[in-house]
Amino acid sequence: MLNQDVLGKQIRIKNIVNQLTYLKKELADLKMGCRHNIMTAQPDGKLSCDICGEELGWECSYSPDHGCHYFTEFNKENGRTITLRNKEIYRMPLNHYCSAEESLKQCIFCSKPYAR
């Protein structure tokens, strides 16, 4: 049989675990909904969101959201597009060359490699 002190600690631990589970889900939901409208480039060249703290990849001075992109999407209605970090869809200009073999090897805007 557990004494009152041990039983009290068990109950506190279960309550804290439940609170942590709830807070982790709430944090994940907030980060998922963040539009990353304010970004800062770190000294190592990576972008991070000033609102939620999420790392957003490499900085790119040529892309519309200043971050490297490695793939485009294609549909008949919009042509070639990318999803920006703020979750908006950006139509690629018709004269923008996109390789048929887009990959994580290099940014479609600045051609810098993914692995740096």
Token pair 């980060």 is at which residue? 31
Tokens of 35: 């539009």
**Domain with 26 in it:** 1-33
28 plus 47 within the same structural domain:
no
103 plus 82 within the same structural domain:
yes
44 plus 72 within the same structural domain:
yes
Structure pTM?
0.68
Q: 31: closest CA among 9, 14, 55, 15?
A: 55
* pLDDT exceeds 90 at position 4: no
24 plus 40 within the same structural domain:
no
CA 58 to chain CA centroid, nearest Å: 11
27 plus 41 within the same structural domain:
no
The number of folded domains in the chain is 2
pLDDT digits (tens, 9 = 90+) for 9-55: 999 999 999 999 999 999 999 988 999 988 899 999 999 999 999 99
φ, ψ of residue 81 to 5 degrees: the values are -135, 165
3 plus 17 within the same structural domain:
yes
